[in-house]
Amino acid sequence: MKILAKEGEVPCKCGRRASRGHRANADGLCARCMSNKRRTDRLAAGLCERCDNRLDGKSLCARCMTLQQTRGSGLRGGDVHAMVRRFDEQGGMCALTGWPMELGKTASLDHIVARARGGPNTVSNLRWVHASVNYAKRTMSDEEFVAMCRAVVARNSQP
């Protein structure tokens, strides 16, 4: 719901009230609209919407995509950058299956020792795995997960 400008206030072109961060700048745009304009301009120039890295058809570069994915993990600045390096070290491949992954689509952070089992939320306990593998693994250890996968193969390879 838009709150219209009061008398004497200069509204943004979007019509939002000029107070609380919605004061229009020289271009007649509030902070939110200016941010949207910068994002649109960057994408049109083939740049990441958050930084100046070149894109290959996405809206975020690999670095910014990784930063976005690790945001909810509780990692801090240096640790987030360490996870960017970890993705590169893994060559964009799942640590468990070797399947190729794409940041923002099929890549997922996996706790080697599940947090539900007391595993820490640290870089040394994290790795990149394919999202479908992480979904299937849930809170299992690697040994339990491999045993389950072997049981599935054995059951389905019988005539």
What is the residue range of 84's domain? 62-156
> Per-residue pLDDT tens for 51-71?
777 777 777 777 777 777 766
Residue 52 lies in a domain: no
1 band by pLDDT with thresholds 50, 70 and 90: very low
- Say if residue 20 is in the same domain as residue 72: no
Read off the pLDDT of each residue in 125-141 and give the average, rounded to a whole number.
Answer: 94
- Say if residue 73 is in the same domain as residue 134: yes
Tokens 């993705």 belong to which residue?
Answer: 87
Exposure class string for 96-105: b at 16+ Cβ within 10 A, else e: beeeebebee
pLDDT above 80 (res 94): yes
Q: If you ran DSSP here, which 8-state letter would residue 124 be given?
A: G
Residue 133 lies in a domain: yes
Do 97 and 131 form a contact (C-beta atoms < 8 A)? no
